[in-house]
């Protein structure tokens, strides 16, 4: 009988290949190591240095710190300073109203994406993503042209005879808010669209078949199912607008003080690094608290997703 010839087993891979295989096995955190190293060097270590400046008195001589002693003075000074309170309150108000307005303007677009035809969907995607292709700074400067004293808004209103003198929009709270909403709208719409397109399109038909009106369907089916998208969008827009620097700086014309512009002034103009450090810490912690709050609310409205492992 002829000797059976088995196909040869694959040759034992070399050391390099075996190492890569081990890395890709999913055991341990090895694939994440490059990112961790980079982040430690460029983010974690500088942040620790920054924190140490906020919690110490130090003496600088010829550009170097020569003595440093632990101190809570900067933190207690900041907490007793009413400027901090009003600035952070302003940041919070701005971020919350931006988030709310983005949701109000973004949700209908996402709804249209859900119920619209193929071309409506494509158009919405293109129009949502296109602004992200240009820099936020460029888009912010564009608002100068629109909102300025002789800008499009004022000249149109004047042309229609609705106003005698140009309205002062630039360098106000309103200019900042308008800019913020426009810049951050895509960040709200995209998660909403992602969540909505994940669900079975038949759900809307089923709801109407069971006698629901369009509004009824929106209220009882589409809205509850899009809560995770609302949560993600709100968290992103809130974080970005709470810590934003460019829009308030440009559209606020240097008059608008929010947390980020305050830190900028403390560090760059008045060279008060300790103050800047404490401000940054407060900004980060309050942002974290808000994110946890958003997560808790979102979780409360998506309890049904956790019953799915039976």
Residues engaged in binding other proteins (CB under 8 A):
199-200, 202-203, 205-213, 216, 220-221, 224-225, 302, 304-305, 307-308, 310
| Nearest alpha-carbon partner for 181 in 141, 236, 241, 108 | 241
CB-CB contact of 167 with 154 (8 Å):
yes
Q: Which is nearer to other proteins, 27 or 300 (CB)?
A: 300
Q: Which is nearer to other proteins, 176 or 230 (CB)?
A: 230
Least distance (Å) between residue 232 CB and other proteins: 17
The SS3 call for residue 66 is strand
Least distance (Å) between residue 296 CB and other proteins: 18
CB-CB contact of 50 with 266 (8 Å):
no
Q: Which is nearer to other proteins, 156 or 213 (CB)?
A: 213
| Nearest alpha-carbon partner for 258 in 98, 103, 145, 106 | 98
Q: Which is nearer to other proteins, 204 or 246 (CB)?
A: 204
Q: Which is nearer to other proteins, 156 or 305 (CB)?
A: 305
The SS3 call for residue 259 is helix
Q: Which is nearer to other proteins, 52 or 302 (CB)?
A: 302
> Which residues is 65 bridged to in the sheet?
60
What DSSP state is assigned to residue 26?
A: -
| 199 vs 302: CA distance, rounded Å | 14
> What's the token pair of residue 78?
């900041």
Q: Which is nearer to other proteins, 135 or 213 (CB)?
A: 213
> Which residues is 57 bridged to in the sheet?
69
Q: Which is nearer to other proteins, 61 or 209 (CB)?
A: 209
Beta-carbon-side half-sphere exposure of residue 24 (alpha carbons within 13 Å)? 6
Least distance (Å) between residue 252 CB and other proteins: 42
Least distance (Å) between residue 229 CB and other proteins: 13
| 205 vs 202: CA distance, rounded Å | 5
| 153 vs 145: CA distance, rounded Å | 9
Least distance (Å) between residue 214 CB and other proteins: 9
Q: Residue 87: count other Cβ atoms within 10 Å of its Cβ.
A: 21
Determine which helix (DSSP H) or strand (DSSP E) holds 164, and give its type and residue range.
Answer: none
Least distance (Å) between residue 130 CB and other proteins: 29
CA 163 to chain centre: 37
Least distance (Å) between residue 189 CB and other proteins: 22
Least distance (Å) between residue 201 CB and other proteins: 9
């Amino acid at each position: 009988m002829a000797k059976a010839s088995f196909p040869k087993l694959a040759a034992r891979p070399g050391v390099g290949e075996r190492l890569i295989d081990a890395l890709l096995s999913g055991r341990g955190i090895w694939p994440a190591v490059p990112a961790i190293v980079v982040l430690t060097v460029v983010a974690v270590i500088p942040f620790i240095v920054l924190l140490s400046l906020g919690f110490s008195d130090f003496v600088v001589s010829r550009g170097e710190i020569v003595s440093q002693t632990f101190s809570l003075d900067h933190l207690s000074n900041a907490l007793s300073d009413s400027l901090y309170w009003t600035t952070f309150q302003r940041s919070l108000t701005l971020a919350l109203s931006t988030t709310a307005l983005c949701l109000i303007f973004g949700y209908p677009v996402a709804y249209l994406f859900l119920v619209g035809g193929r071309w409506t969907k494509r158009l919405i995607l293109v129009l949502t993503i296109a602004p992200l292709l240009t820099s936020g700074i460029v888009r912010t400067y564009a608002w100068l042209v629109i909102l300025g004293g002789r800008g499009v808004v004022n000249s149109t209103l004047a042309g229609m005879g609705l106003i005698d003198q140009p309205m002062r929009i630039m360098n106000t709270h309103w200019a900042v808010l308008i800019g913020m909403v426009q810049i951050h709208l895509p960040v709200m719409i995209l998660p909403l669209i992602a969540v909505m397109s994940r669900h079975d399109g038949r759900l809307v038909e089923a709801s109407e078949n069971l006698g629901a009106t369009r509004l009824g369907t929106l209220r009882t089916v589409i809205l509850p199912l899009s809560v995770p998208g609302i949560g993600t969008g709100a968290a992103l827009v809130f974080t970005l607008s709470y810590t934003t620097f460019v829009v308030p700086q440009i559209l606020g014309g240097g008059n608008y003080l929010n947390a980020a512009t305050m830190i900028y002034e403390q560090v760059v103009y008045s060279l008060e690094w300790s103050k800047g450090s404490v401000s940054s810490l407060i900004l980060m912690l309050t942002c974290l608290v808000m994110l946890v709050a958003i997560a808790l609310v979102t979780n409360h409205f998506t309890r049904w997703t956790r019953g799915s492992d039976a």
